[in-house]
Amino acid sequence: MSNKPVNHARAAEHFLEDAPHLQFHDERLWDMRQKRDGQMHMLPEWQDLREEASRIKEHTLSRLPEYLEQFEENAKKNGIHVHWARDGAEHNRIVGEILKAHNARNLIKSKSMVTEECDMRPYLEKQGVTVTETDLGERIQQLDDQLPSHIVVPAVHKLTSDVAKIFAKDYHTDPNIRDPHLLAEAQRQAARPVILHADAGMTGGNFVVAETGTFVVCTNEGNADLSATVPNLHIATIGIERLVPRMADLGVFIRLLSRSALGSPITQYTTHFRGPQKGGEMHVVLVDNGRSARLGMEDFWTSLKCIRCGACMNTCPVYRRSGGLSYGAVYSGPIGAIIDPTFNERKYSTLPYASTLNGSCTNVCPVKINIHEQLYKWRRVLVQHHEMPFVKREIMHMAGKLMGQPKMYRAAIKMTEVSLGSMPRFVLYNWLNPWGKHRENPHPVKQTFNDWYRKNREKAKPAAASETKK
């Protein structure tokens, strides 16, 4: 994997050049945010739910090892095989071995961000396993060989015309179809035989319940249920942070998840998996992949509360105008920008800067992750770890010095009459340079406030008023 920092700004600039895609993307996601607001207004207890969800998650994370062991013990009693994966490689190896033991060559799977994190598909394909995504958006992304651009709606950056072209290539449908229903039908027709002939099915898991040893998968298309139940072998890949202690805790999250994500009261399917079906086998792979390390990071551990609803993406004005792929990472948007650097600090060092720190994300987050404050804190960490480009670092260093010396600062401002031309050269040519690309510069003024004050107020006062230290 390349360590080169992701150039979010350039990718975003590219995204902005395509007006129809940009407009659809912005409006579609903004519509989801508004629908989420509508659901929030229907529940007077919304803020209490968020508080409760946050409290449950923080409690669980503070005792994660105990709850994980409790889950393992209870899941085994339910006849579920439980595996532990330290990282992506171990996860892929475990899944590969399970499939091999069953001589399974055709795997169907529902959407799972953890398998993206582990880069599982290429690994299994090398072993001769055909992996088919059954979620519509995820399948579109698979066929187009792209990462999901959004954790809930993976192909939201595409228009129906893009999908029609992709399907025409792989499904030999008419490339001019514009009706989304016809496209969905094409996917259904292509997917059904694959599902019926699959040897194994894979799902993720939205919630894992420690006291019952069960897990819950929430979807809208029913594809996870097909993936889990048509083949006799079901493998669920789940991050270790997805735990809740009790079944009674689950309701809080089920009420928040789909309302926050899509603005619908609940997902079409909320399936509780309690054990293998008759004659079948069920495996749960619990994946760490950096989560334990993150749990030990004082400023960033609460990012593990995330339930992957995508509300922070939908509300983020930067995400809506740059597209998920511009983040160059499995997780995009505000939540991605605070967890991606834990996977690779250098590569994702630019992402915490892909934000205005406006704070909307934090306030829609159903589990109250202080996302924008973590973005701010990541910037400090990245600078301390020398992950800021040299030029920007130097500019900040020089600006900081100048701001501490009022006489020099005034001299710099006054080099000529007050105008942009009087700004220190390094500021003008390095820092402000891109300002004018899509914007006019601020207008020069006749005198600064400081000059005005000296002329109009200081002269009227006795000399003692202008005492200053140093």
Partner 1 sequence: MKIGLFIPCYIDAFYPEAGIATLELLEKLGQDVEYPLDQTCCGQPMGNSGCNSDAAAAEALFVRNFAKYDKIVMPSGSCTHHVRDNFDAIPQTDEVRHVRENTYELVEFLHDILKVDAFPWAEFNHTVGLHNSCGTLRALRTASMSELGEKPFSKPMDLLSKVKGIRFVTPKRPDECCGFGGTFSVTEEAVSAKMGVDKVRDHYQAGADYIVSADSSCVMHQQGCAERAGVPIRFIHIAQILNGAAE
Instruction: Name residues contacting partner 1, limited to 360-399 (CB under 8 A).
Output: 360, 362-364, 376, 378-383, 388, 392-393, 396-397, 399
CB of 329 to partner 1, least distance (A): 16
Q: Which residues, numbered 268-307, are part of the site for partner 1 (CB under 8 A)?
A: none
Q: Which of 1, 439, 459, 462 binds partner 1 (CB under 8 A)?
A: 439
Q: Which residues, numbered 304-323, are part of the site for partner 1 (CB under 8 A)?
A: 315, 317-318, 321-322
Does position 197 interact with partner 1 (CB under 8 A)? The reply is no
Stretch that binds partner 1, among 60-68, 130-138, 157-165, 461-469 (CB under 8 A): 461-469
CB of 351 to partner 1, least distance (A): 11
- Which residue, 246 or 380, is less far from partner 1 as judged by CB? 380
Burial track 431-442 (b if 16+ CB lie within 10 A, e otherwise): beeeeeeeeeee
CB of 150 to partner 1, least distance (A): 17
- Which residue, 83 or 305, is less far from partner 1 as judged by CB? 305
- Which residue, 1 or 460, is less far from partner 1 as judged by CB? 460
Q: Pairing between strand 200-203 and 233-239?
A: parallel
CB of 1 to partner 1, least distance (A): 24
Q: Which residues, numbered 400-429, are part of the site for partner 1 (CB under 8 A)?
A: 400-407, 409, 413, 418, 423
- Which residue, 189 or 441, is less far from partner 1 as judged by CB? 441
Could you give the CA distance from residue 86 to residue 99 in angstroms, rounded to a whole number? Answer: 19
- Which residue, 102 or 377, is less far from partner 1 as judged by CB? 377
Stretch that binds partner 1, among 147-155, 185-193, 215-223, 439-447 (CB under 8 A): 439-447
Interior angle at CA 54, CA 52 and CA 55, nearest 5: 65
Task: Say if residues 448 and 418 touch (Cβ distance below 8 Å).
Answer: yes
Q: How far is CA 248 from the centre of its chain?
A: 28
- Which residue, 256 or 388, is less far from partner 1 as judged by CB? 388
Interior angle at CA 390, CA 387 and CA 393, nearest 5: 80
Give the Å distances, CA to CA, from 205 to 240, 270, 272, 273, 296. Answer: 10, 11, 10, 9, 24
- Which residue, 74 or 419, is less far from partner 1 as judged by CB? 419
Q: Which residues, numbered 336-365, are part of the site for partner 1 (CB under 8 A)?
A: 352-360, 362-364
Q: Which of 6, 12, 99, 329 binds partner 1 (CB under 8 A)?
A: 12
- Which residue, 180 or 444, is less far from partner 1 as judged by CB? 444
DSSP codes joined into one string, 347-359: TTTTGGGSS----
Q: Pairing between strand 200-203 and 106-109?
A: parallel
Could you give the CA distance from residue 200 to residue 230 in angstroms, rounded to a whole number? Answer: 8
Task: Say if residues 156 and 149 touch (Cβ distance below 8 Å).
Answer: yes
Q: Provide the mask over 15-54, with x wherever binding to partner 1 is found by CB under 8 A and - wherever it is not.
A: -x-------------x------x--xx----xx-------
Q: Which residues, numbered 92-151, are part of the site for partner 1 (CB under 8 A)?
A: none
Could you give the CA distance from residue 160 to residue 171 in angstroms, rounded to a whole number? Answer: 15
Could you give the CA distance from residue 20 to residue 2 in angstroms, rounded to a whole number? Answer: 32
Task: Say if residues 148 and 141 touch (Cβ distance below 8 Å).
Answer: yes
- Which residue, 103 or 468, is less far from partner 1 as judged by CB? 468
Could you give the CA distance from residue 341 to residue 10 in angstroms, rounded to a whole number? Answer: 19
Contacts with partner 1 by CB under 8 A: the residue count is: 81
Could you give the CA distance from residue 409 to residue 420 in angstroms, rounded to a whole number? Answer: 14
DSSP codes joined into one string, 25-47: HHHHHHHHHHHHHHHHHH-TTHH
Residue 449: what residue type? F
Q: Which of 192, 275, 447, 455 binds partner 1 (CB under 8 A)?
A: 447
Stretch that binds partner 1, among 7-15, 93-101, 117-125, 231-239 (CB under 8 A): 7-15
- Percentages of the chain per state (helix, strand, coil), in multiples of 5: 55, 10, 35
- Which residue, 108 or 361, is less far from partner 1 as judged by CB? 361
Stretch that binds partner 1, among 101-109, 117-125, 128-136, 449-457 (CB under 8 A): 449-457
Could you give the CA distance from residue 353 to residue 356 in angstroms, rounded to a whole number? Answer: 8
